[in-house]
């Protein structure tokens, strides 16, 4: 049996294997996976290439590289993904938080005049909880509800609230969009599923991420149509909703929200220059009860 490889040799072989499997950032992914096995940062991997692995470390690394070569996302393999400089636990039941979704967080924060105010937040389709929990981490006086139709995703969101010490300000509810909620929220965020059924996607997405987090229906705007009425009903007077949108969807989503009495007040592009977030308010013709949410939601 051959001796276990050094860090440098193991990284070199893994990079070659991942490149052959079509992985875009093969070297970086190999470093993340070996760092996970060794519980060490990139600087150790780069600084000590001659250091030998133990047999157990080499075997564990080989297993992770094999998974990545089958195009499983790195986030699922290591069990977490950084978003807004916070570490979120992710599983195959949750979408992997995307850097572009930080646009929604920034747009939502942009609408808040006083960041210590006792705001009520709602995140429709919370998944890992990344939008709600990031906003709670920035808005020290706020409390919020995260809704998802997937109980398994909500279990992950709850775990993330615990990990980030935000459980006392977060509630989670298993429901179909906002249908189970009453009252009004100052700030609503949503990143609904908006991928078209025939869109060509990388194997990392189509083979591993939950379909319910990607596809809203036969029409990629179906989820926006389904939740538009809830937005209108649950948004407090003077409050804002920040919605993530797919590339090229801004005009259509603005039009369908306008039919529900919600007007666009801002549009934000992500770092790639793609319009990624719409900010909406009531059109002024306000009707119905105005009281804030009572927090009488049942945690799932
Ligand atoms: C695109 S993912 C967004 C997850 C997370 N908010 C993020 O930004 O990473 C959409 C989420 O909506 C949830 N979802 C899909 N249909 C839903 C419905 N009818 N009611 C509530 N949540 C739903 C999915 O389970 C998924 O977690």
Q: Do 132 and 63 fall within a single domain?
A: no
Query: What are the Cα distances from residue 230, in Å, to 73, 227, 290?
Result: 33, 5, 14
Tell how far the Cα of 177 is from the centroid of ligand 1, in angstroms: 9
- Which residue carries 């747009």 as its tokens? 107
Q: Do 167 and 268 fall within a single domain?
A: yes
Residue 44: inside a domain: yes
pLDDT along the chain (300 residues), means of 10: 90 98 97 97 94 97 98 98 98 98 98 97 98 98 98 98 98 97 97 96 98 95 97 95 98 97 97 98 71 52
Residues 104-123 as b or e (16 or more Cβ within 10 Å = b): bbebbeebbeeeeeebbbbb
Q: Is the CB of 101 under 6 A from ligand 1?
A: yes
Q: Is the CB of 212 under 6 A from ligand 1?
A: yes
Q: Do 118 and 252 fall within a single domain?
A: yes
**pTM for the structure as a whole:** 0.94
Tell how far the Cα of 224 is from the centroid of ligand 1, in angstroms: 11
Q: Do 63 and 151 fall within a single domain?
A: no
Residue 236: inside a domain: yes
Report the CATH number that the domain containing residue 151 is assigned in CATH. Answer: 3.40.50.150
In the chain, the number of structural domains is 2
Closest ligand 1 atom, residue 244 Cα: 8
Q: Is the CB of 156 under 6 A from ligand 1?
A: no
Residue 298: inside a domain: no
Residue 38: inside a domain: yes
Q: How many CA atoms lie within 13 A of 100 on its CB side?
A: 16
H helix or E strand, kind and range, residue 258 = helix 250-258
Report the CATH number that the domain containing residue 52 is assigned in CATH. Answer: 1.10.8
Q: Do 255 and 153 fall within a single domain?
A: yes
- Domain holding 136, by residue range, is 93-282
Closest ligand 1 atom, residue 127 Cα: 27
Residue 221: inside a domain: yes
- Atom 9 of ligand 1: nearest residue by CA position: 97
Q: Is the CB of 293 under 6 A from ligand 1?
A: no
Q: Is the CB of 130 under 6 A from ligand 1?
A: yes
- Atom 19 of ligand 1: nearest residue by CA position: 176
Q: Do 38 and 104 fall within a single domain?
A: no
Residue 78: inside a domain: no
pLDDT at 119: 98
Q: Do 99 and 144 fall within a single domain?
A: yes
Q: Do 60 and 118 fall within a single domain?
A: no
Q: Is the CB of 131 under 6 A from ligand 1?
A: yes
Q: Do 171 and 247 fall within a single domain?
A: yes
């Amino acid at each position: 049996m051959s001796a276990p490889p050094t860090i440098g040799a193991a990284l070199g072989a893994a990079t070659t294997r991942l490149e052959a499997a079509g992985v875009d950032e093969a070297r970086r992914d190999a470093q993340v996976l070996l760092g996970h096995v060794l519980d060490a940062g990139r600087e150790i991997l780069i600084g000590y290439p001659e250091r030998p692995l133990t047999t157990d470390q080499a075997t564990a690394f080989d297993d992770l590289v094999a998974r990545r070569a089958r195009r499983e996302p790195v986030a699922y393999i290591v069990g977490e993904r950084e978003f807004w400089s916070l570490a979120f636990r992710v599983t195959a039941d949750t979408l992997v938080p995307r850097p572009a979704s930080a646009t929604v967080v920034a747009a939502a924060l942009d609408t808040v005049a006083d960041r210590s105010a006792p705001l009520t937040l709602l995140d429709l389709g919370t998944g890992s909880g990344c939008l709600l929990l990031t906003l709670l981490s920035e808005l020290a006086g706020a409390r919020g509800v995260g809704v998802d139709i997937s109980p398994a995703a909500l279990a992950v969101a709850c775990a993330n609230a615990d990990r980030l010490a935000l459980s006392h300000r977060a509630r989670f509810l298993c429901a179909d969009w906002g249908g189970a909620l009453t009252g009004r929220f100052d700030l609503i965020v949503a990143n609904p599923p908006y991928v078209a059924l025939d869109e060509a996607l990388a194997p990392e997405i189509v083979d591993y991420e939950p379909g319910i987090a990607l596809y809203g229906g036969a029409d990629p705007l179906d989820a926006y149509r389904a939740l538009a009425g809830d937005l209108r009903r649950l948004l407090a007077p003077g409050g804002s909703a920040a919605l993530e949108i797919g590339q090229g969807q801004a005009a259509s989503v603005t039009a369908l929200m306008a039919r529900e009495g919600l007007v666009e007040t801002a549009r934000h592009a992500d770092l790639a220059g793609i319009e990624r977030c719409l900010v909406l308010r009531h059109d002024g013709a306000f009707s119905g009860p105005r009281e804030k949410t009572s927090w009488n939601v049942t945690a799932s």
